[in-house]
Structure 1
């Protein structure tokens, strides 16, 4: 999301954009290749106070009107630098709520609470990627005036997409993401086990993470021949070309890019009715929402789409149209630019 937003804003005549990144990796390389002004400070090399000093020195040399930060550490750093720069405008985007927050007093819980406190008291605006997250923040004491919802957006595919894949191969249900507890890929495996006797249906899981070995062991113990792991995928286009349905089994979600990307390619989505997902999917029109993450309902909708080509094609086309009209990167970018200009009094220099 950050790459698409920064690149699109850099192409805009409305504002000038610079990016400061704390890891010299793929995001930094892609932004540099896109012609964006990028500065990298490797956080592994510097203490937090030194990072603050380096960012302050960098921004002091620029006429910055506003700082947009992401994540807890960056929010705290941005606030300190803003004060040193004599109260530059501050915006932060909240992409999701903490996963399984502990009630115990730990360093992580203290930082999390401090982050919410600083966002609510000192930031000009907090952007929630879904109305669900916005409502949670309001319930936590955030002012309605300082929160806005801007849905994630994606570049629309520049190639033609078929509303139905190659029928000469098996019908493939895919999912992708970090292999962590909140994604509950164990449920995805359970659905594959339930449909194991339907030989034309195959399941594909893309991604890596701390639960990878546990998930592989579960598939092996269940003896599933209809299930494959692809590991981490750098080119998601290749993944989407292999699947006919995208399935999400998460316990909670904001506005996941994978669902937007799948729908933009005419791939129907089956997902739980949680978090921000009902803001993307209209149940029965451009995808299916599963109440209470019910395994039987997941399986039933999978069978419906695999057996009824007419229903599949209608839903695939509706999904593509939804993304074009409501979740394009241009719509997202214009919304952010509007926020920036309002906060900074129509000035034109933004640092992210």
Structure 2
């Protein structure tokens, strides 16, 4: 199943979110399967995107197109990278609307012969403003790439052409036993992620500690309405040292595909209570490895139920959560599927 040439992963990145987390695990997973991987960034930003440092730490090659090809316009840089490459890639896999659109324009420039072109769709929400038009162009030009990957059926339903559902994935991790009763929100503080819903639930459970890991434009508003049991920890570039302090994760989003935070938590045996969004009902078998709920009140009831369970009852749910990831959403399971798709 080994490919006989490099794989380029293409994206635009200025912060660290779900796409960046996915790209990091994809690059590491392909490398662990003896593939040659380069992560190509469309543009440079100040400060440097956090993903770059994490890729370097994993010894994965990176290239920034606007630094290497300074004399080319944005839309011609990928073409120049391909034509000047000592060894042409056998696959270019794009993530996010900017990278997806650039990849298709490069195909129209007739320089991608014998290169498999793949694009991934990650966003469950419909953006607003100018980005809405880019999102529409991304979806309606998707037929120009040979393989199209979606992380949820809802995202698939928005594409006007066929696509393949491939799960997000994370590496296997050790089971953690929380040191307390901390309830967590992990993600961007923006409307689609529903941090205001998380804070409203916290306000109804003042005796319980709630923790928010993330930053975003809603933070000033949230600090005004939060109760004293809510702590803001800001943006995190690495959650590894934080997960052991989390007892349970709430997903309070208004839109989702298959969030990486959910997979990272469950891989460590941290259960999730979530609304029925995207692929989360496929991930969570309610009552066995976590809970799917329909309302804020049900989420509060599940939290109180979880806190009332015995240690052995909690451990049973934690083990089921971890096994769900190992069997269906782990790097070891999904990367072979990705490699097989690259070769179709």
TM-score (norm 1): 0.83
1:319 and 2:321 aligned: yes
Look up the SS of the partner of 1:314 in the other structure: helix
Deviations 1:26-48 (A, max 9, x none): 322332333333211248x979x
Gapped regions of structure 1 (runs ≥ 5): 343-352
Report the secondary structure of 1:236's partner residue. coil
Q: 1:33 aligns with which of 57, 72, 76?
A: 57
1:70 corresponds, among 76, 86, 95, to 95
User: Retained in 2: the 8 A contact 1:68–1:92?
Assistant: yes
Aligned partner of 1:204 in structure 2 is: 211
Distance (Å, rounded) in 2 between the aligned partners of 1:4 and 1:19:
12
Q: Which has the higher contact order (CA 8 A, sep 6+)?
A: 1
Quote the Cα distance in structure 2 between the aligned partners of 1:262 and 1:89: 33
Distance in 1, matches of 2:243 and 2:26, equals 22
Q: Does 1:6 align with 2:13?
A: no
Partner of 1:16: 36
Instruction: Pick closer, same or farther for the CA change 1:86–1:92 going to 2, 3 Å.
Output: closer
| Matched-pair contact (CA < 8 Å) for 1:181–1:211 | yes
Tell me which residue corresponds to 1:177: 187
Residues 280-312 of structure 1: CA deviation (Å, up to 9, x unaligned): 111111000012xx1211111000111112432
Do 2:274 and 2:293's aligned partners in 1 also have CA atoms closer than 8 Å?
yes
User: Quick check: 1:154 aligned with 2:154?
Assistant: no
TM-score scaled to structure 2, two decimals?
Answer: 0.85
2:82 is aligned to: 59
Give the Cα–Cα distance (whole angstroms) in 2 for the partners of residues 70 and 177 of structure 1: 19
The alignment of Structure 1 onto Structure 2 pairs a total of residues equal to 313
Residue by residue over 1:221-249, the C-alpha shift from the partner in whole angstroms, topping out at 9 and shown as x without a partner, is: xxx22221111122312321222111110
- 1:217 aligned residue: 224
- Residue 237 of structure 2 aligns to a residue whose secondary structure is coil
- Among 100, 105, 122, which residue is 2:144 paired with? 122
Write the distance in 2 (CA, Å) between the matches of 1:172 and 1:32. 32
8 A Cα contact 1:268 1:312, kept in partner: no
1:142 paired with 2:161, answer yes
Q: Secondary structure at the match of 1:126?
A: strand
Q: In the alignment, what sits opposite 1:295?
A: 296
Q: Which consecutive residues of structure 2, in runs of 5 or more, have no partner in the other structure? A: 1-21
SS class of match (1:238): coil
Distance in structure 2 (CA, Å) of the matches to 1:266 and 1:248? 16
Equivalent position SS for 1:31: helix
Q: Distance in 1 between matches of 2:234 and 2:213?
A: 5
Which is greater in Rg? 1
